[in-house]
Structure 1
């Protein structure tokens, strides 16, 4: 039998009071394992966060899980190698339809663009008839599928019916475009920014594509994704990560010196290229996810299902507003 004495109660009470008064930095917190592609934009956030001491401010124990490329991040999450990844909500929505309890919080609304040479006669998507368009990624990349859906909606036919897509890694199709072997290129926003600094012309942004499908506002497609159950069971402080990222983005939105510090990671070919990347990034900084974003995401999802884009949303996928962290 355990005998409870007045002294044991006092000792226990003192211990509880001490824990309550203990500063946040002295209390142990679970780490957050976040995936990052080396030299990608998430690595810029991490570098700035650490340089500014923002991780310490939020008592964030951030562990970086480096992945070779963007498609490797979902594998890391589903295998348990990472707690949080940065990926598309279209993928997360498909996984929820399969039973995974994923959540999404916005990271960036910066999207890729269709670029053409500055002196190209191509003025619209229809002008690409009979021409070659490089596509960064594969045939199931979200930007390519959205562009195909946009062509069907606005031109009445799939872009594959009148132009020849050439798929490849972003650096490869970028070089092919620079060397004049492609008439246009659909590339990730970082490469589009670099090409624009070199004089290439933006024919169509993916934001234009989404607006052209009558979806407004343009919802951030890329964000932080995690499993509700895993985060809850392991007490992973995702809220601290999101707060730290928001503070870091405030620095990147206002401090040009912070971008100079990122030169070794970004490796710009010129000052103009660094400025273009900085401005593209800043244009994609998002706030918290709201009701208007959910409504826009639902409309976009239903439109893609209606247009038959099973590659992007998947067979049996339905919209689930519970995916979005608000």
Structure 2
């Protein structure tokens, strides 16, 4: 009887120790964002359980809503771009970009039969962009000014077109070229009716910048438990590795309504382009590439368009590793 009581006490102690060892982290997920794909993978493969990490996810309708959640503490982690994390830090919010989430990808897309063979042919054409602050558009402006002798925003007609509608506008001839989101670009090119004139990577290279420049970052509150944050970064890395190799994941992700893809023959192109946008690492050199890019964008478009006058490098933390 005494031995039984001792065993039960030891078991209780062990269970209590495990419970205390488990870490918890709160994620603010934007509806329609690719972070949802990774969170789905973490759950699908049991990665959180394997690492002793409980991932609590709240999905918000917009990017602005995730930012409010981060500022209020309702979320400890969100995904956002390098401009926004710098702005948050300058406004006094204790947050940091702790690891790249995706690289700057995408490019300029035109109909296959269009007479646009190079960036120089965009002069006098109507170009669709999701906004005047789109990073690829700003890169294109810098590139045409440096390499061709005109600013595409002045020499062409740039109009705001939502990414899902860009293909329809091109079909109707209302725009001759477009800069859609990377996933829409991948789908359009995969069908054979559209082609890419120049990629974001080629624009970066033409400006003398590294091609692997992070655009989106995992942004965390500074009061987040460091160990929980490390475990989450590891979970993201493990999930991404499995997503790259598991053919069954992608149809399952679509079945879970995490992305709308009416034509599933476009899935391989979507998957390939997603993998191409994964960060290769995280170091001071990557932060320096982001700094150089920001300076170039401000030089071309001005601080009012870019959203800031300088990048606050204190908003970036390069010490965390998956």
TM-score by length of 2: 0.84
Which residue in 1 is equivalent to 2:169?
Answer: 176
Moved more, 108-117 or 188-197: 108-117
Which residue in 2 is equivalent to 1:130?
Answer: 124
Aligned match for 1:31, one of 19, 25, 29:
25
The structure-2 alpha-carbon separation of the partners of 1:321 and 1:151, relative to structure 1 and needing over 3 Å to count, comes to: farther
Which residue in 2 is equivalent to 1:254?
Answer: 245
Asked if 1 retains the 8 angstrom alpha-carbon contact of 2:96 and 2:315, the reply is yes
Deviation at 1:65, TM superposition (A): 2.4
Cα distance in 1, alignment partners of residues 30 and 313 from structure 2: 27
Aligned match for 2:81, one of 59, 67, 88:
88
Cα distance in 1, alignment partners of residues 254 and 109 from structure 2: 24
Which residue in 1 is equivalent to 2:156?
Answer: 163
Which residue in 2 is equivalent to 1:325?
Answer: 318
Which residue in 2 is equivalent to 1:223?
Answer: 217
Asked if 1 retains the 8 angstrom alpha-carbon contact of 2:53 and 2:231, the reply is yes
Q: Which runs of 5+ in 1 are unaligned?
A: 1-13
SS in 2 for 1:81: coil
- Is 1:297 aligned with 2:290? yes
Asked if 2 retains the 8 angstrom alpha-carbon contact of 1:301 and 1:313, the reply is no
Aligned match for 1:201, one of 195, 210, 213:
195
Deviation at 1:313, TM superposition (A): 5.0
Asked if 2 retains the 8 angstrom alpha-carbon contact of 1:37 and 1:67, the reply is yes
Say what the alpha-carbon RMSD is for the aligned residues: 2.7
SS in 1 for 2:101: strand
Deviation at 1:32, TM superposition (A): 1.7
Asked if 2 retains the 8 angstrom alpha-carbon contact of 1:211 and 1:218, the reply is no
Which whole-Å deviations, capped at 9, do the CAs of 1:158-210 have from their partners, x for residues lacking one? 21111111213222333322443221110111111111122210112112222
Asked if 1 retains the 8 angstrom alpha-carbon contact of 2:284 and 2:318, the reply is no
SS in 2 for 1:281: helix
SS in 2 for 1:293: helix
- For residues 61-140 of structure 1, what are the structure 2 equivalents within 5 Å? 61-104=54-97, 105-109=99-103, 111-136=105-130, 138-140=131-133
- Is 1:239 aligned with 2:233? no
Count of equivalent residues: 305
Cα distance in 2, alignment partners of residues 247 and 228 from structure 1: 24
Which residue in 2 is equivalent to 1:10?
Answer: none
The structure-2 alpha-carbon separation of the partners of 1:284 and 1:304, relative to structure 1 and needing over 3 Å to count, comes to: same
- Is 1:189 aligned with 2:185? no
Asked if 2 retains the 8 angstrom alpha-carbon contact of 1:33 and 1:82, the reply is yes
Deviation at 1:280, TM superposition (A): 0.3
- Is 1:288 aligned with 2:260? no
Asked if 2 retains the 8 angstrom alpha-carbon contact of 1:106 and 1:220, the reply is yes
Deviation at 1:244, TM superposition (A): 0.6
Asked if 2 retains the 8 angstrom alpha-carbon contact of 1:110 and 1:285, the reply is no
Deviation at 1:35, TM superposition (A): 1.6
SS in 2 for 1:92: helix
Asked if 2 retains the 8 angstrom alpha-carbon contact of 1:58 and 1:240, the reply is yes
SS in 2 for 1:140: coil
SS in 2 for 1:262: helix
Asked if 2 retains the 8 angstrom alpha-carbon contact of 1:289 and 1:325, the reply is yes
Asked if 1 retains the 8 angstrom alpha-carbon contact of 2:80 and 2:219, the reply is yes
TM-score by length of 1: 0.83
The structure-2 alpha-carbon separation of the partners of 1:308 and 1:267, relative to structure 1 and needing over 3 Å to count, comes to: closer
